[in-house]
Amino acid sequence: MSRIQQLPNALINQIAAGEVIERPASVVKEIVENAIDAGATQIQIDIEEAGSKLIRVRDNGSGIHPEDLALAFSTHATSKIRSFEDLEHVRTLGFRGEALPSIASVSKTLLTSRFEANDHAYKIVPYISMDISPAAHPQGTTIEIRDLFYNTPARKKFLKSERTERQHITQLLERIALSHSHVQFTLNNHGKLLAQYGGDNPEARVTSVLGEDFLEQAVPIDVQNGDMRLWGWVGLPTYHHLNADKQYFFINGRTIRDKIIAHAIKQAYQDVLYHGRQPIFVLQLDIPPELIDVNAHPQKQEVRYREARLTHDFLYSTINHALRAVRPTTAPTATSEISAKIISEQPVKPSPPRQQTSFQYTTSPVRTTRHQLNETRAYYQWASQTQAPPAPASLSSISPLPNLEPESQIEEHPLGYALGQVHGIFILAENANGLVIVDMHAAHERILYEKMKAQLAQKAVGESQKLLIAQTLPISAAQEEALTEQTEWLTQLGYRWRIETGELLIDAVPAILKKVDHRQILADVLTELEYYPNSKQIERLQNQILSTISCHKAIRAHHRLSLSEMNQLLRDIENTPAAGQCNHGRPTYTQLNEEQLNALFMRGQ
């Protein structure tokens, strides 16, 4: 058996590099973060062959003292911390003293730096000698890395294509640029400009990375809770992405990806985001450094929280409240993707002949005059107080309008006034911006869902349907104990049951829930209650049941509404939380502005 012996320093550094330096983007990250810690406001990055041949990072930071140049390449040497107390309160991006020795152990490195108080610069070439020599350089530091992994060919084989590695670098720079908007960044590839970000305010930097569309379809957040502050932008649920690559979260300026954050944000979007899609957001959490441990991950991408539940709930409640507080002050404009598709289909070929009733508005003519709008308002006021909507797609659960003021005092409504109905599916309305198109089933579904959530919170009781024969379900002692603590909200929905010798006998179910497997619903509830009795999983189950009920109760397609009922629906959309999307995340309405309408008919072209 081999004897234990001390490893040489070179091998130690190469082993450490395996954790810190995975690819060229890892090198860029470590050096750029050091530059930011040094107070740099201008950082230039040059790469060749996606960084495997050359990575050069130049900054205008404070520089490195010439006596510290050699020390900078020894392990665990840093200017960031001196004690364990410093580690607990660290605010810098780097602090371990591992980056430079790890990089130098797998590349040919040259470092040139001029310390802020010195008149001259010095350089060091650690793969040749640890001696320093004079050099020409302005204040700041330039680090040049050539032939990455030249002495570890096995590591080099794991690199992907040049395009993929270059993409990793550009995505990394996007994240760093978003979290440090005061710093100017330039990225050159083989001498050609690849990306550039000027010194901006946070909003301008977000626009430069994600485009103007994002800010137009995002909700700003800035909430302080004790020592924690969450600020940034969350995309509307209708503005989503297939992948999670447009999700940016930072803690104290550091890019973070961990399960607590992901779970909190997922829960905040759970009943408003379309299935299988990902939200888009840029969020910064400012938190006292002593409340987190940033030394929990080799690349510092995860942190540990001293108060994990408190942090999770703060994120969830803040984002959820922001999304639910959105009201249609103006209807969202159709996305550029949809608009482009509509416009690109011009000219429109004539449709084949069809019966008049297959495409018909409920009111005529389409163009509504101001006088007609006044009549509509007056009729709506009267109808909403006197008429009972037709069954089965009842609108009676929607609150009526308050008394309307005279015309001179009437405030224009964001969604405007109804013009008519198309195919019994869509409502067309005119507002100050143009044409609003509403999916009446999706909109009514969200209105009912939010109303039932409010009723459940107020302990309103739903109607029950007694079963002729009780349905049975096995129940454990632990489930029975947990069920007694969660009885109230299930009975509010309309469930009734009794327990006999290890079995749950279901005597009554919510009257509105037809063609639903109630045994499976309650089985899922029992499982969640047993393992997660106090978690948000219970709320998720409640929302699932309410979503099913609202979907069944909402207006069905091809159901004709009167003009007053359409306007009633528009007003309730305007006053309903998260009304921009149904319970499944589909849009409930969209806006075509005058410019888009003109483009459909090539007006002004």
What is the structure's pLDDT at 400?
43
Distances (CA, A) of 317 to 89, 218, 324, 528, 560: 27, 17, 10, 21, 39
pLDDT band at 299 (very low <50, low <70, confident <90, very high): low
3-state SS record for 192-252:
EEEEEECCCCHHHHHHHHHCHHHHHCEEEEEEEECCEEEEEEEECCCCEECCCCCEEEEEC
Looking at the domain assignment, is residue 189 inside a domain? yes
Q: Taking 50 as the threshold, does the pLDDT of residue 466 lie above it? A: yes
- Taking a C-beta distance cutoff of 8 angstroms, is the pair 27, 46 a contact? no
Residue 372 has phi, psi (to 5 degrees) of -65, -35
For the cut 90, the answer to whether the pLDDT of residue 541 exceeds it is no
C-alpha dist (Å) from residue 409 to 208, 369, 404, 405: 42, 18, 9, 6
Averaged pLDDT for residues 382-390 = 36
- Mean per-residue pLDDT for 301-321? 89
Confidence at residue 297, expressed as pLDDT on a 0 to 100 scale: 62
Q: Are residues 33 and 142 in the same domain?
A: yes
Measure the CA angle with vertex 272, ends 233 and 263; round to 5°.
65
The predicted model gives 333-338 an average pLDDT of: 48
Looking at the predicted structure, is the pLDDT value of residue 383 above 80? Answer: no
122 and 30 in a single domain? The answer is yes
Instruction: Give pLDDT, residue 351.
Output: 39
Task: Give the least confident one: 348-357, 429-438, 476-485.
Answer: 348-357
Write down the pLDDT at residue 393. 41
Among 88-97, 115-124, 393-402, 508-517, the range scoring the smallest mean pLDDT is 393-402
Regarding whether 400 and 542 lie in a shared domain, the answer is no
How much is the pLDDT for 276?
82
- Tell me if 490 is assigned to some domain: yes
pLDDT band at 404 (very low <50, low <70, confident <90, very high): very low
In the numeric block, the tokens 């009257």 are attached to 511
Q: CA 603 from chain center: how many Å?
A: 38
Q: Work out the mean pLDDT of the chain and round it to a whole number.
A: 81
Q: Check which CATH number belongs to the domain holding 414 and give it.
A: 3.30.1540.20
Task: Confirm if 465 and 509 have CB atoms less than 8 A apart.
Answer: yes
pLDDT of residue 171: 95
545 in the same domain as 579: no
Q: How confident is the model at residue 344 (pLDDT cuts 50, 70, 90)?
A: very low
pLDDT, greater one: 252 or 301: 252
pLDDT the model gives residue 246? 93
Query: Domain containing 210: what range?
Result: 202-324
Residues 416 and 538 in one domain: no
| Model confidence band, residue 452 (pLDDT cutoffs 50, 70, 90) | confident
Provide the CATH number for the domain around residue 76. 3.30.565.10
Q: In the listed set 197, 226, 258, which residue is the last one of a domain according to the structure?
A: 197
**Residue 243 covered by a domain:** yes
Choice between 5 and 387, residue whose per-residue pLDDT is larger: 5
pLDDT at residue 368, rounded to an integer: 38
Does 353 map to a domain?
no
| CA–CA separation, 492 and 461 (whole Å) | 4
Asked if residue 148 and residue 69 are part of one domain, the reply reads yes
Number of domains in the chain: 4
Question: Would the pLDDT of 547 be above 60?
Answer: yes
- Are both 419 and 290 inside the same structural domain? no
User: Domain check: are 26 and 109 in the same one?
Assistant: yes
The band of 336, judged by pLDDT with boundaries at 50, 70 and 90, is very low
Please report whether residue 331 resides in a domain. Answer: no
Examine residue 329 and state whether it is found in any structural domain, yes or no.
no
pLDDT tens-digit map of 555-578: 888 888 999 999 999 999 999 988
Q: Which residue has the higher pLDDT, 14 or 477?
A: 477
> Confidence band (pLDDT; 50, 70, 90) for 87?
low
Domain identity same for 103 and 43: yes
The model's pLDDT over 179-194, given as tens digits with 9 standing for 90+, comes to 999 999 999 999 999 9
Question: What is the token pair recorded at 374?
Answer: 């006044």
Residue 461's pLDDT band (cuts 50, 70, 90): low
Bin 109: left if φ > 0, else alpha if -120 < ψ < 50, else beta: beta
**Statement to judge: residues 436 and 290 lie in one domain:** no
Q: Residues 382-403: what's their mean pLDDT?
A: 40
Residue 390 has pLDDT above 50, yes or no: no
In the predicted structure, residue 76 carries a pLDDT above the cut 90: no
Q: Are 253 and 32 in contact (CB under 8 A)?
A: no
**Whether the predicted pLDDT of 554 surpasses 70:** yes
User: For the chain, how far is it from start to end, CA to CA, in angstroms?
Assistant: 85
**What pLDDT is recorded for position 457?**
74
Is omega for the bond preceding 347 within 30 degrees of 0, making it cis? yes
Instruction: Give the model's pLDDT for residue 358.
Output: 29
pLDDT at residue 546, as a whole number:
82
Residue 605 domain-assigned (yes or no):
no
455 occurs within a structural domain: no
478 pLDDT higher than 80:
yes
Q: 403: Cβ–Cβ under 8 A, 6 or more apart, which residues?
A: 381
CA pair distance 214, 204, nearest whole angstrom: 12
pLDDT band for position 459 (50/70/90)?
low
**Residue 82: its pLDDT value, please?**
64
Q: Verify that 313 and 373 share a domain, yes or no.
A: no
Considering the domain architecture, whether residues 103 and 175 belong to the same structural domain is answered as yes
Using a 10 angstrom Cβ sphere, with 0-12 exposed, 13-18 middle and 19 or more buried, the burial of residue 38 is: buried
CATH of the domain at 485: 3.30.1370.100
pLDDT band at 534 (very low <50, low <70, confident <90, very high): low
Q: Is the pLDDT of residue 364 over 50?
A: no
Domain boundary among 197, 220, 246: 197
Confidence label for 464 from pLDDT (cuts 50, 70 and 90): confident
| pLDDT band, very low/low/confident/very high, at 98 (cuts 50, 70, 90) | confident
Of residues 231 and 532, the one with the higher pLDDT is 231
